[in-house]
Structure 1
Amino acid sequence: MGRVVGTVARGLRCPIINQGDNIEDIVVESVLKASEVEGFQINDKDIVSITESIVARAQGNYATIDHIAKDIHAKFGDDTIGVIFPILSRNRFANCLRGIAKGAKKIIVMLSYPSDEVGNHLISLDLLDEKGINPWTDVLTEQEFRQHFGYQKHTFTGVDYIDYYKSLAAEFGVECEIIFSQKPKTILQYTKNVLTCDIHTRFRTKRILEENGAEKVYTLDDILSESVDGSGYNEEYGLLGSNKSTDDGVKLFPRDCQPVVDNIQRMLLEKTGKVVEVMVYGDGAFKDPVGKIWELADPVVSPAYTPGLAGKPNEVKLKYLADNNFANLRGEELNKAISEFIDNKDEDLTGSMEAQGTTPRKLTDLIGSLSDLTSGSGDKGTPIVFIQGYFDNFTNTSVD
């Protein structure tokens, strides 16, 4: 019998990872044990995907709000700090903001509206239309925002983030003013010293501020890019990709991930004779249709991966072939024609009608999204994802 299954993603359980654990040994042993217990073979081009969280935990890549505060004060001194475009997240930004506030004398928090960068909405588009407010031109004070929109709670968390973020600064007796604007230049009316907290648009934001008279501009990847008093750090991403770990601490995005994936690939080759691709993944890149949240709050989906995962898919659309190129064929004759087309397809299908509707995203972004959805973010206990058949296509019919 020929193959009747394509891509399979398995969430694998492993021990709880703690600082100092050998993440490479644990991942390899977990994959081999799962293969033995569940009875699946390990093949060339299989994929082992590891959540960034367990890599960072093994590295002990942690910091406290005191470490953040010390770095903030070293960079800004007693200047009023404009904290602009933070995402609305208790997990992602609350302890970052507490550390920022603890290291400052006064902060001006500028929120983008109607939503933050990753789709967490302060208010709905319909409400904006009803009130006649244009977020691209209208700057609002907190009082004006309340007059127009009142108190709005987040769809999923039930939190009013305006009050919540002000309360975090108030813990340390720091004056905190909230304003609302989509325009980076707005903050320069309040202070020339800015910490821009957006993720994927941070370089543009920094450029606009510097071109318009800002005196000090830092991005979140500048904070804890070096160790402070023995803290964890990330030289490339700083606080970007961090998560709350304790009441006063954060887990940072893992660093030095490339040796990790390379060593796991080498170890699996030694033990199985198969070339398995390996990647570290963070947030997937997909959008929730209810809350409108774009999941990607990490700076990248994958900070490290083996060479076989570079590039983008080069696929044709089967239904297009069936409806157009081979519309007169049926059954085995149609299957044969499509298989021959796939076997002879161009190495680069960019612009081809046969490829329309396929997903021209990076392989690591696609596989990271699959992995993130498979492992989940709660109590599944499967921080390793083992994927088979991802690089198969319609022509792969033999059973391994």
Structure 2
Amino acid sequence: MKTLPGYVGPAALGVKMGIIVPGSDLVGEIATRSEELNRDGLLHDGDVVCVTESVVARSQNNIVSVDQIAAEVKAKLGLKDTSTLGVVHPIASRNRFSVILRALARAVPRGKVVVQFSYPYDEVGNQVIDPAYAAAHGGPSVVLYHRDIPTQVLLHPITRIDYGAYYSEVVGREGAEAVIMYANDPQAVMAEEPEGVIAADIRTRRQTQKQIKEALSNCITLQDICSTGSIRSEWGLLGSNMSSDGKLKLAPRDCQEFTQSVQKEILRRTGRKVEVLIYGDGAYKDPETGIWELADPVTTFGCTSGLQEKMRCGVKYKMLVDQLHSQGKSFAEIEEAIEEAKAKGFGPDSIETEGTTPRRLTDVLATLADLVSGSADAGTPVVLIKGIYQG
């Protein structure tokens, strides 16, 4: 396969890599594959090399144990074995949150863990209570308890899991008592008299923490756990995923440094000036289930300077064609006018871009890369995107 023909527009190519393990020279392996892409006429200046966060973190061995997390939570919140710990607005997830909850319960093995879900959906759109039941029995200030709700209305419509019961089992296996409640007011957890609280939501964590601190100062977020030390992420436990048994893989650390190293090594070996991005979950919503893919705190954990603070604003191509065609312009005149409009680089408030939604370029690139590589892992942890970034 050689250079893509000129009539092909933006494209994203999944790039197969070997097995990445802790200690792998990921920068070198990406650069080696880039040499092959360049040899085959597929790598050009202005391309974007996207690397999934999971292989970056794995190569860094950015992995923590349940015991490490439990000890840190216990120290930061000043908890005893018999303390009551509140966990407010976590997402309903087996691979994202269950190991974190296991660690939190281990911090209070003879105490109590109060898990407070938002309802009827969690932050990313997972249903935790049937909306009809919630409408009939709930409300902005109503607190519901798992023990009082019929099981059939607690089942997730896709997985058929009762996440309240599942989280209760996770807590119970660590020896702690579990209380599962549903309330949209972050301060509702105070009815259970916790000695410390964790604001466990993702993008709304600081607002949640602020509200809780009005009632109890001893409150931290998931970002405040595992955010320092040799094994760390600036995002703490946010963006973490289940690794091997009893361990969590954190989001990668030192992401800017990594992307710059990849960029420099590709330039040294191929002479190509590319941009590099580390991507997490894409920012898209399943229209059928209403569930957001974005369970990471950001779509992009790090990128090279050429991508920073850039917006993707496009000329409304079809609108211009309709206008110019109605004015009797020839095909050649229409094409010339469109090229002139594109060259002017109109901003998001220009009439020429009316009807297009300006988006942060890194969000677009990361989402496209995530769709190509897929959550089930297509064996392509590197994605080469062509024709979207204009340096």
Q: TM-score, normalised by structure 2?
A: 0.92
Partner SS for 1:138: coil
Q: Flag the 1:204–1:304 CA change in 2: closer, same or farther, 3 A.
A: same
Following the alignment from structure 1 to structure 2, what is the Cα–Cα distance between the partners of residues 27 and 141?
50
The whole-number CA distance in structure 2 between the counterparts of 1:68 and 1:2 is 52
Tell me if 1:102 matches 2:106: yes
Q: Distance in 2 between matches of 1:215 and 1:340?
A: 58
Q: Return the letter of the residue paired with 1:203.
A: R
**Which amino acid is 1:122 matched to?**
V
Aligned position for 1:49: 50
1:238 to 1:330, Cα distance in 2 relative to 1, 3 A: same
What corresponds to 2:127 in structure 1?
121
1:154-190 CA distance string (max 9 Å, x none) = 2332311011000000101201101101111111222
1:4 is paired with a residue of what secondary structure? coil
In the TM superposition, what is the alpha-carbon distance from 1:198 to its structure 2 partner? 0.4
Question: Partner of 1:376 in structure 2?
Answer: 374
Counterpart position of 1:359:
357
In structure 1, the residue matched to 2:212 is: 209
Identity of aligned residues (%): 38
The residue matched to 1:15 in structure 2 has which SS?
Answer: coil
Q: How far apart, CA to CA, are the structure 2 residues paired with 1:183 and 1:325?
A: 54
Structure 1 equivalent of residue 68 of structure 2: 67
Report the alpha carbon displacement of residue 226 of structure 1 after superposing the two structures with TM. Answer: 2.8
Q: 5+ residue gaps in structure 1?
A: 394-400
Give the conservation status (yes or no) of the 8 Å contact 2:313–2:357.
no
2: distance between equivalents of 1:33 and 1:345? 34
2-structure distance, mates of 1:179, 1:244 = 25
> Which residues of 2 match residues 143-222 of structure 1 at below 5 A?
143-146=147-150, 150-192=152-194, 193-210=196-213, 212-222=214-224
Q: Which residue of 1 aligns with 2:41?
A: 40
User: What TM-score does the superposition give when structure 1 sets the normalisation length?
Assistant: 0.90
Residue 72 to residue 320, structure 1, CA distance change in 2 (3 Å) = same
1:83 corresponds to which residue?
A: 87
- 1:92 and 2:90 matched: no
User: Quick one: which amino acid aligns to residue 221 of structure 2?
Assistant: T
Who is 1:397 aligned against?
A: none
Alignment check: 8 A CA contact 1:95 1:248 kept: yes
* Structure 2 CA distance for partners of 1:327 and 1:339, relative to 1, 3 Å: farther
Decide whether the 8 Å contact of 1:12 with 1:34 is kept in 2. Answer: no
Instruction: Select the residue among 126, 130, 133 that pairs with 2:138.
Output: 133
- 1:13 matched to 2:11: no
Structure 1 residue aligned with 2:314? 315
CA distance in 2, matches of 1:383, 1:345: 32
- Between the aligned partners of 2:351 and 2:131, the Cα distance in structure 1 is 35
Q: How many Å separate the matches in 2 of 1:96 and 1:357?
A: 42
Give, in whole Å, the separation in 2 of the partners of 1:186 and 1:246: 35
Structure-1 separation of matches of 2:116 and 2:299 = 26
Q: Please, which runs of 5 or more residues in structure 2 have no aligned partner? A: none
Instruction: Say how many residue pairs are matched.
Output: 380
